[in-house]
Each structure stands twice: as structure tokens, then as C-alpha cells.
Amino acid sequence: SFPTRRSSDLSVLRHYAEPLSGVTSPWLYLGMLFSTFPWHNEDNYLESINYHHAGAPKQWYGIPGTQASTFEDVVRRFHKQRLLEVPDLLHRINLQISPAKLAALDVPVHRVLQRPGEFVVTFPRAYHGGFSLGFNIGEAVNFATPDWVQHARAANEHYRSIARLGVISHDRIMFGMAHNCHLQTDVESCLALRDEVWRLCEEEARMRPHLYRVSGVRDLSAMLPAPGNNVHVCEAEDADFDDTRVCRVCRHTCYASIVACNCSPESLCCLRHVDYVCRCPASNRYLIEWEPVAKLEALARRVDMRLAYLRGEEYVPTPRPW
């Protein structure tokens, strides 16, 4: 006989031991006649599963994740001014556009009527909305399969461009997956993880020396030691620590390093936005490294080894250009 596996064992969010309300711990929803859930996609472009416990049916409308940009173009067309005032309008869950209008503008809209005892699953970046046809009870939670990595990267870069804080630290979950890459069983998913982890590693490896040599930022890592990151699993202390190291400019959670300034304890920023955090001279700024590049690189090579194993190849370390 074979051991059974719970569906939660297949989600990469299992590396988050600290419950995230509505993300890793389910929410219960009570609906009434014509109560709506406006157009939105899931935080960090995660997948979701929704179960209808009892009551009247729920009408869903959905747009494939591959057509998300088409939908967003329509939103920019009709809500240009609002988007200038509220850059993350599409993430506020208060946007209503008629499905008929969207279909008339060549946005592919699908619909499904969910009845008691039925599940509805949404995929990465897929916009969805709808309404209830009467009193009902539903339950929903997020999950992420290993191939979510490519969508996670897109979500992270998009969030940084509009200064939106993600519900989970992108870098933390990526390096957490790298540490637990022995659970990867699919070559394509492992390849996507390998590419993303090396990208994050390269950004740290290239930008830290540049800030020291060119910008004049000081390295105070030895004078201001900080607790290292736990890559095994994210627990309460890790989640609380993440909340304190958010870039003031792009709202990115700084996992491996952060830049601060003497002018204010709130002048924290990621490596990308050192010149935007304040007007102080570079000599006032300092960098704290929570993770040395060598450790990040070791995690990336861990994924390299797992990928070689899945491909049935011999692992041969490749030199990196830094």
C-alpha cells in the first residue's frame, strides 16, 4: 500500500508554519442575495480553492490568467484617472465592470454556477468576480503548486512597481523552497525555481559591492548583528521580523540585506532604491547583511543538484560571474 498525501502537502505554502489569515488558514464566507465579490486576482498571484457548503448558488465570472493583461488594458481605458490616484486599484477588491461589457471588448469571460457541494479553483493571475443568488455559506483558502514560481516572480515585480506589500515575502518563500527542493519532483518546476533563486542571488552579489565601492554605503553588518533567516520553515518570529524590514519606496520585504540611514529609523530600503529613500549623502547610509552571498549561492546550488538528479545527469558546478 502507498501512503496517502494530503493536498496541503503538495502546496509550497507548507513552508509557512505561521498561519496567514485567508491565505494558509481558510476564511468562511456568508453571502446573501446579490452580495458580490468584485473583480480581483489572488494575492501574490496564488491559486485558490473555494467550497460551497450550503445555501443558494453562487454565480462566478472568470478571466484566464493568460488574458489578465487584456482585462487590465480595459480597466486602464475606463479608469485612467482613478489608477493615477490609486495605483493598486486592481488589488482593492472594489472594482465592478459588467461581464457583458468586457466580452464586447474581446476580453474572454467564462462563467460557472457553483452549487452546494461543489468546488471552484482559480489559477494564478486569473481575475474573477461574481455574486450570490441568495443566502449561502462558502469557504476559501489559497495554495500554490510548484509551478507557481514563474507567477510569483511576475507578482513580486508588479507589486514593487506600484509599491504594494505582498502577503508573503517573495524572497523568503523562494529560498525556503530552495532549501526544501528535495520535495521537487517535476523538472520544469525545478528549473523555474533554479532560475529565480539564481536571479535573486545575482542581484545581491552584484549590487552589494556596487553600493560599497561606488555609492559609499558603509557595511555595518558586524556592528549591528541581526538574527539569521530560518530557511526551513517560516514561523511566528520570522513573520514578525519580516514586518519590520520593508522597503520604504517599493514595499518589498528585504530578506537578505537592507540599507538604512542615520537620519531616521524608518529610512529603510532595498538595494534597488538607495538613491530614493532620503536626501542624505551616501556616507550617512549603511547596509546590513542578514545572509552572506555565499549562503544564498549554496541554496541555489542545492536546486542545481536537485535538477541534475531529476534529469538523470551528473551534477557539475558552474562558475558564476561575480
Q: What one-character-per-residue DSSP string does 176-227 give? A: HHHHTGGG---HHHHHHHHHHHHHHHHHHHHHHHHIIIII--EE-TTTS--P
At 9 the pLDDT is 59
Counting residues of the chain whose pLDDT is more than 90, the rounded percentage is: 69
CA–CA distance, 98 with 67 (Å, rounded to integer):
17
Closest listed residue to residue 61, CA positions, set 10, 101, 15, 3: 101
Where is 159: in which H helix or E strand? helix 149-161
At 3 the pLDDT is 38
At 202 the pLDDT is 96
3-state helix, strand, coil in the chain (%, to 5): 40, 25, 35
At 4 the pLDDT is 40
- What does the pLDDT look like over 104-134, one tens digit per residue? 999 999 999 999 999 999 999 999 999 999 9
Whether the predicted pLDDT of 102 surpasses 60:
yes
Return the minimum-mean-pLDDT range out of 197-206, 227-236, 280-289.
227-236
Closest listed residue to residue 34, CA positions, set 57, 67, 13, 53: 57
pLDDT band at residue 1, thresholds of 50, 70 and 90? very low
At 57 the pLDDT is 98
Whether the predicted pLDDT of 44 surpasses 70:
yes
Mean pLDDT (whole number) for 291-297: 94
pLDDT band at residue 137, thresholds of 50, 70 and 90? very high
Structure-block grid coordinates of residue 143 = 495554495
At 6 the pLDDT is 46
List phi, psi (to 5°) of 11.
-90, 135
- What does the pLDDT look like over 300-316, one tens digit per residue? 999 999 999 999 999 99
At 162 the pLDDT is 92
Whether the predicted pLDDT of 225 surpasses 60:
yes
Where is 286: in which H helix or E strand? strand 285-289
- Under 8 Å between Cβ of 294 and 301: no
At 78 the pLDDT is 87
At 2 the pLDDT is 34
pLDDT band at residue 282, thresholds of 50, 70 and 90? confident
At 26 the pLDDT is 93
At 226 the pLDDT is 66
Read off the pTM.
0.89
Mean pLDDT (whole number) for 22-42: 93
pLDDT band at residue 249, thresholds of 50, 70 and 90? very high
HSE value, Cβ hemisphere, 13 Å, CA-based, for 134: 7
- Under 8 Å between Cβ of 52 and 117: yes
